[in-house]
Amino acid sequence: MKSAKLDWPGLMNVGLHQLGLSVEEFWNLTPHELEVKLGVSGAKASVLTRSGFTTLMAEFPDMKESAKNGRSQ
């Protein structure tokens, strides 16, 4: 499962100009929170399955394998 590419310039334009968010407020929002502010959060409800979670963990590990084993990087 590949992550969908987000239109960051477009989202920033909407967030900063149409919603009037500061840069800090914009970057502190999650994509879901931004959707809620835009009123589109109900457009696509999805559930994170175990296999989806496993895929996300593989794509975005919290730490490198060597750090998990107590070895320096």
Q: What is the pLDDT of residues 27-40, one digit of tens each?
A: 999 888 888 888 87
The rounded distance, in Å, linking the Cα atoms of 63 and 43 is: 33
Per residue in 8-24, pLDDT (tens digit) is 899 899 999 999 999 99
Q: Can you read off the two tokens belonging to residue 43?
A: 């457009």
40: domain range? 8-64
pLDDT at 22: 95
Burial class (CB in 10 A: 0-12, 13-18, 19+), 15: buried
Q: Is the pLDDT of residue 1 over 50?
A: no
The answer to whether residue 70 is domain-embedded is: no
What total number of domains does the chain contain? 1
The answer to whether residue 1 is domain-embedded is: no
The sign of the dihedral angle between the CA atoms of 10, 18, 37, 45 is negative
The answer to whether residue 71 is domain-embedded is: no
Average pLDDT, the chain: 81
Q: Residue 56, Cβ neighbours under 10 Å: how many?
A: 13
